[in-house]
Amino acid sequence: MNFMGIGTGELLLILLIALIIFGPGKLPELGRALGKSVREFRQASRDVTAQITKELKELEKEANLEGKSKADDEQAQH
């Protein structure tokens, strides 16, 4: 298993240290907070990707329209 470049052994060591530092009562709360943060980050990443894709499609559409317009002008001149 490889989670964000961290192997299984390292992940277990981190969890053990967290358990020692925060105690068993605090860990579920920390896990929920971490999960919520990861979800929000993923959603923000999807939103940014969607916005960039939309903008690129609009630019491509404009470029195609300008290309057609120039081609039409050239044909009209001949």
Average the pLDDT over 58-67 and give the result.
Answer: 86
Q: Which residue has the higher pLDDT, 53 or 4?
A: 53
Q: What is the pTM of this model?
A: 0.56
End-to-end CA distance of the chain: 66
Measured on CA atoms in the order 67, 71, 72, 74, is the torsion positive or negative? positive
35-39, Cβ contacts within 8 angstroms, sequence gap of 24 or more: none
pLDDT digits (tens, 9 = 90+) for 15-47: 889 889 988 888 888 889 988 999 999 999 999
pLDDT: which is higher, 76 or 61: 61
Q: Chain-wide mean pLDDT for the chain? A: 84
Mean pLDDT computed over 41-55: 96
